[in-house]
Amino acid sequence: MTGPAESPVLRIRGGALAYGPRRLWSGLDLDVQAGEFIAVLGANGSGKTSLLRAVLGQQPLTSGSIEFLGRPARRGDRRIGYVPQQKLADDGTPLRARDLVALGIDGHRFGLPLPSRSRRARVDLLLEEVGAESYADAGVSTLSGGEQQRLRIGQALAGEPRLLLCDEPLLSLDLAHQRGVSELIDRQRAARRMGVLFVTHDINPVLSFVDRVLYLAGGGFRIGPPDEVLRSDVLSELYGSPVDVIRTRGRVIVVGTPDAGHDHHHDDDEVE
Ligand SMILES: Nc1ncnc2c1ncn2[C@@H]1O[C@H](COP(=O)(O)OP(=O)(O)OP(=O)(O)O)[C@@H](O)[C@H]1O
Ligand SMILES: [Mg+2]
C-alpha cells in the first residue's frame, strides 16, 4: 500500500485541454500513487487519449501542470510506458513477436545496444511475464489481437516504467482475453508498483482491480472510488442529462449516456 508521505508518481494540477474553441476538460487535479490502478472512462471524444498524450508530453496542456516523479513531464521519458489505442500489425510486417518486445528495450539505449546475450535474456523474461513464450518466434502479423496486445504490453514494460498508460487495451478482445489482459496488467502493476492509467469503455473487466475511476464527460470530470462515481446521480449531473447506473450480478451497466449503444461495440468508430 502507499504511505501518506510518499509523493505521487503523477501529479496533475489545474489541467485543462482545448483544441481551439473545443474544450475537452478543465480544472483537472489528479494524483496517481505508486501501485495505484485508475480507470479512465468517458464518451468518445471526451479527451481520454488526449489526456494520456498530455502525460506523455506529446500534447501541451492549455493550462495547468503535469509532474512525473516530481519533475515536469517531458516527452520521451521511458519510465512512462504506453500502450496506444489499438492498432493491429500490418500484414506485411516481418517482425517476430520477440522483435516487437525488443524494440521496447532498444528504445532507451543511447546508441550502445546491450550485449546480445543479456538483451536476449531480458526479452525472454518480458515474453514470459506477458505470457507470450509459446509464440515468441511467430510472425507478429500471424498472431491474434489478444496475443499482439500482450506483446505491446511487454514492449511498454521493457522501459521499467513507473507509470503505465493503456489506451483501451481490451478493444476487440473476447471476454476471456479481456480478463487475461486485465489480469496481466494488474499483476505487473502490483509486482512493479507501477501507477496505471487504464482507458476503457467497459469498466467491468477491471472493476475488481480499480482503485479509482476518472470519468470524463460534458467538459467536466469526476474522480473517486468506483462506488462513488458510478452512480446514477453523479453521472446524471456530470452528463447534464438523466443517466442510470445499474448494478447486476457484480457488473456495472451505464444506461442513457449520449454515446449509449457504442459502449461495447464501437468498432465502427475505431476504423483507421
Ligand atoms: N491534435 C488534435 N487537434 C485537434 N483536435 C483534436 C486533436 N486530437 C484530438 N482532437 C479532438 O479532441 C477530441 C477528443 O479526442 P480524444 O482522442 O482525446 O478522445 P477520446 O476520449 O480518446 O475518444 P475515443 O473514445 O473515441 O478514443 C475529439 O473530438 C478529437 O477529434
Ligand atoms: Mg481515445
Which CATH number does the domain housing residue 216 bear?
3.40.50.300
CA 80/CA 82 separation, integer angstroms: 6
What is the H or E stretch that residue 118 is in?
helix 116-129
- Residue located nearest, by CA, to atom 11 of ligand 1: 45
Tell me, using a 6 A CB cutoff, whether residue 24 lines ligand 1: yes
Element (H, E) at 37: strand 37-42
**Which residues have C-beta within 8 Å of that of residue 48, sequence separation ≥ 6?**
40, 41, 42, 167, 199, 216
CA distances from 112 to 29, 106, 115, 119, 120 (A): 39, 9, 9, 12, 15
* Residue 155 located in a structural domain: yes
- Establish if 1 belongs to a structural domain: no
At 157, list the grid cell. 514494460
Residue 35: what are its φ and ψ, rounded to 5°? Answer: 80, 5
Pocket test for ligand 1, best of 19, 170, 257 (most atoms within 8 A of CB): 19
Identify whether the C-beta of residue 201 lies closer than 8 Å to the C-beta of residue 168: yes
Show the domain range for 16.
10-269
- Is 241 domain-assigned? yes
Q: Per the domain annotation, does 29 fall within a domain? A: yes
Ligand nearest to C-alpha 46: 1
Q: Is the CB of 58 under 6 A from ligand 1?
A: no
pLDDT digits (tens, 9 = 90+) for 22-78: 999 999 999 999 999 999 999 889 999 999 999 999 999 999 999 999 999 888 898
Q: Is residue 4 a part of any domain in this protein?
A: no
- Residue 215 counted as domain residue: yes
- Count: domains in the chain: 1
pLDDT tens figures, 78-111: 899 999 987 767 777 788 999 999 988 876 555 5
- Find the ligand nearest to 50 CA: 1
Provide the whole-model pTM.
0.89
Q: Is residue 97 part of a domain?
A: yes
Q: Is the CB of 60 under 6 A from ligand 1?
A: no
**81 domain-assigned:** yes
